[in-house]
Amino acid sequence: MSAQEDYGGGEEPYSYIMYIDIGPITRYIVTLNWVFFAVLLAISSVMCLLGFRFGRDIEKEAERQQTFFQNASHELKTPLMAIQGYAEGIQAGVMDAGGAADVILEESDRMTELVEELLDISKIDMGRQRLTLSETDIRELLYDGIRAVEPIAAGGITIVPDFPEEPVMVSCDDTQLRRAVTNILSNGVRYARSELRLTCRADKRHVTIRIQDDGDGIAEEDIPHIFDRFYMGRSGKSGIGLALTKEIIHLHRGTIRAYNGETGAVFEISIPVSR
């Protein structure tokens, strides 16, 4: 950069050239460029990873939904085929109407139960299953569950309740929670040899419900999948009941687990007590 300086007094102006070192500025700009590039690269990498993960989750969800509907269709088709077969037998006059009617009614009840379970699971998946919470003595709810399965247990299974003497209050949807407990009880009655023990204990934070039968227990390979939808272990039914039970317990901010005890299978439910 050229510059001139006038001293006055008729003297010739003094001219000189000024040099400015812009190296630090250049290095600073280059550093900023590299920092910007690194930040842009990091953001792009994170976005790519998130996109890949979201895409994979969407694919898994689509696959799970497809499997769900395929299994549901298969489970619904089984009772429908039985109903159709026996109805055609009555129409053709090759089957006893009374016996066929009993089978048709049994399969109709099975299909109705399955449809209701599928609808409930669908509502839970869509976030449309709302709980109607109320203060409930969990002991009364458990007694209701026992009364519901007593007709199934009439073949020689004794249900032994073991509850505290004082009320055990929880905030729950008594209809949904009763359904979950009844599912476990009916499952236990099917596998018990002679006794099904139902205990309830509470501490300051949680109430624990334990249902134990005296059967052969759960096969080790079935334990990790016993609450999976449409997973049917030994002598299983539709594979929906336990999955729905798990969803209902989770809606109540509780947990459920299954394991083998000393005398058979144990289902343990834990839900928060009322404050």
DSSP for 172-231, written as a single string: E-HHHHHHHHHHHHHHHHHH-SSEEEEEEEE-SSEEEEEEEESSS---TTTGGGTTSTT-
Cα separation, 95 vs 104, in Å, equals 12
Q: What is the DSSP letter of 21?
A: -
Cα separation, 25 vs 99, in Å, equals 97
Q: What is the CATH number that goes with domain 70-125? A: 1.10.287.130
Asked if 190 contacts 218 with a C-beta cutoff of 8 angstroms, the reply is no
- Tell me what pLDDT residue 74 has: 65
Cα separation, 114 vs 72, in Å, equals 9
**pLDDT per residue rounded down to tens, the chain (275 residues):** 555 555 555 556 666 666 777 778 888 888 888 888 888 888 888 888 888 888 887 777 677 666 666 666 766 777 788 788 878 888 887 777 777 788 888 878 777 877 777 777 777 777 777 778 889 899 999 999 888 888 877 778 888 999 998 988 898 888 889 889 988 998 888 888 888 999 999 888 899 999 999 888 888 888 888 888 777 666 555 567 888 889 899 988 999 999 998 888 999 999 988 65
- Tell me what pLDDT residue 9 has: 58
- Tell me what pLDDT residue 1 has: 54
Distances (CA, A) of 102 to 154, 156, 161: 20, 23, 33
Model pTM above 0.85: no
Q: What is the CATH number that goes with domain 134-272? A: 3.30.565.10
SS (H, E, C) 110-167: HHHHHHHHHHHHHHHHCCCCCCCCEEEEHHHHHHHHHHHHCCHHHHCCEEEEECCCCC
Domain spans of the chain? Answer: 70-125, 134-272
Of 245, 238, 244, the closest CA to residue 71 belongs to 238
- The one-letter amino acid at 245: T
